[in-house]
């Protein structure tokens, strides 16, 4: 295990270093806060033992520096404190980010045991953080394509509309649907359908800007969010999305399958909410399907009375 020992007293550093090295750990010493922080950044230690003078209650202390550093904050910190430290002072040190306190007089066995405990707790904390992130991903990500799911992409659209209204910026959306998807599934199986969905996702992503967002609404239907895209820009993007998928060839069990999409797009009118904007784009998509598929249609060209596609 990599460990940093930071203490202004050379004798205390030596005592800690010997106990830890005898237990098989690799120790890096530092006398002051600046050198200790540099050592933590360089060696990414699991644990740092620091003298209580380096954990003072101010923003310049080593403890504050470690907990605010984007790389070193993962290090578990044990503060080596004098026996006379008061209970309120000990509680304040823990609140500032210390994992544990080690009180004089120190025995080698206690040093090794506290370091092992701090390391285990650090590992458990990182596992909990990882589980939390995975759960968060599951809540907003489509598992097959890795795109935003329906709920999340529509929530994002509502946020983009709020920003567009506040800053007076354009905003467009594009509804995209894989042509004859049910026919493909029925003829070649669900594996072929999944492969077509993934291939389409990759083609669409390649044609979108970094600031654009893409979600899977369900089945074979996608929604692209195009912030700062005027009517002209949206028309160009929509045609680019259609053309990008038209060239896709998906191989399944030795078969090469061609995929095309229909696209309907709409530019926010400055007043409508997310549902109304998506509905206009969906009507445009219906018209693209009705025109023979592998086509692009603009919502503004359509009558609001058009029926929803089935």
pLDDT of the residue at 304: 45
Judge whether residue 57 has pLDDT over 70: yes
The answer, yes or no, to whether residue 308 has pLDDT greater than 60, is: no
Neighbours of 142 (CB within 10 A): 19
Each residue of 154-192: pLDDT tens digit?
A: 999 999 999 999 999 999 999 999 999 999 988 888 888
Q: Which of 92-101, 115-124, 236-245, 251-260 has the highest mean pLDDT?
A: 236-245
Q: How far apart are the first and last CA of the chain?
A: 62
Q: Following CA atoms 237, 238, 240, 243 in sequence, which dihedral angle do they give, to the nearest 10 degrees?
A: 170
pTM of the complete model: 0.59
Burial 77-87 (b: 16+ CB within 10 A, else e): bbbbbeeeeee
- Answer whether 249's CB lies under 8 Å from 258's CB: yes
Q: Which residue has the higher pLDDT, 79 or 130?
A: 79
Q: What percent of the chain has pLDDT over 90?
A: 48
Q: Are 69 and 40 in contact (CB under 8 A)?
A: yes
Residue 298 host element (H or E)? strand 296-298
What stretches of 76-107 show up as alpha helix (H) in DSSP? Answer: 87-95
pLDDT bucket at 65, cuts 50 / 70 / 90: confident
DSSP 8-state class, residue 292: T
Q: Is the pLDDT of residue 36 over 50?
A: yes
Q: How many CA atoms lie within 13 A of 119 on its CB side?
A: 16
Q: Is the pLDDT of residue 143 over 70?
A: yes
DSSP H helices, the chain, are 10-22, 33-43, 62-68, 87-95, 108-140, 150-167, 181-188, 190-207, 231-246, 274-290
- Asked whether the predicted pLDDT for residue 201 surpasses 90, the reply is yes
- Percent of the chain exceeding pLDDT 70 equals 92
* pLDDT mean over 48-71: 82
- Angle at which helices 181-188 and 190-207 cross, to 10°: 140
- pLDDT for 306 equals 46
The lowest-confidence range among 42-46, 120-124, 199-203 is: 120-124
Gap between the Cα atoms of 135 and 137, Å rounded: 5
- Per-residue confidence (pLDDT) for residue 59, from 0 to 100: 59
pLDDT of residue 123: 77
**84 given a catalytic annotation:** no
In our burial notation (b when 16+ CB lie closer than 10 A, e otherwise), range 6-17 reads bbeeeebbebbb
Indicate whether 34 pLDDT > 80: yes
What is the rounded average pLDDT for all residues in the chain?
88
Domains annotated for the chain, with CATH where assigned, are 2-137 (3.40.50.2300), 150-301 (3.30.70.270)
pLDDT tens digits for 281-305? Answer: 999 999 999 999 999 999 965 444 4
Which of the residues 15, 213, 220, 298 is marked catalytic? Answer: 220
- The model's confidence at residue 134, banded by pLDDT at 50, 70 and 90, is low
DSSP for 40-59, written as a single string: HHHH--SEEEEEGGGG-SST
pLDDT of residue 68: 84
The tens digit of pLDDT for each residue in 231-264 reads: 999 999 999 999 999 988 888 777 888 899 999 9
Q: What is the pLDDT of residue 107?
A: 87
Q: Give Cα separations from 284 to 140, 243, 250, 266, 304 (angstroms).
A: 26, 17, 27, 8, 10
């Amino acid at each position: 295990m990599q460990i940093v020992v930071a203490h202004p007293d050379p004798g205390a550093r030596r005592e800690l270093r010997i106990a830890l090295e005898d237990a098989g750990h690799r120790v890096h010493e530092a006398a002051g806060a600046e050198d200790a922080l540099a050592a933590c950044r360089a060696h990414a230690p699991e644990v740092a033992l620091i003298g209580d003078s380096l954990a003072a209650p101010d923003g310049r202390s080593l403890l504050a520096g470690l907990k605010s550093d984007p790389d070193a904050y993962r290090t578990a910190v044990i503060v080596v404190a004098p026996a006379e430290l008061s209970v309120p002072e000990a509680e304040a040190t823990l609140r500032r980010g210390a994992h544990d306190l080690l009180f004089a007089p120190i025995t080698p066995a206690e040093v090794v045991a506290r370091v092992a405990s701090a390391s285990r707790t650090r590992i458990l904390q990182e596992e909990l953080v990882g589980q939390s992130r995975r759960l968060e991903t599951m809540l907003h990500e489509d598992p097959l394509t890795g795109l935003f799911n329906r709920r999340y992409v529509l929530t994002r659209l509502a946020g983009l509309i709020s920003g567009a209204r506040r800053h007076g910026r354009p905003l467009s959306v594009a509804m995209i649907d894989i042509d004859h998807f049910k026919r493909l599934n029925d003829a070649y199986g669900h594996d072929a359908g999944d492969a077509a969905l993934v291939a389409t996702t990759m083609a669409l992503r390649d044609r979108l800007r970094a600031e654009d967002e893409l979600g899977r609404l369900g089945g074979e239907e996608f929604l692209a969010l195009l912030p700062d895209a005027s009517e002209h820009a949206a028309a160009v993007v929509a045609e680019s999305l259609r053309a990008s998928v038209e060239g896709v060839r998906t191989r399944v069990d030795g078969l090469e399958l061609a995929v095309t999409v229909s696209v309907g797009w709409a530019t926010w009118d400055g007043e409508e909410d997310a549902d109304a904007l998506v509905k206009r784009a969906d009507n445009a998509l219906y018209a693209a399907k009705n025109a023979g598929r592998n086509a692009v249609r603009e919502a503004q060209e359509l009558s609001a009375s058009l029926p929803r596609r089935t």
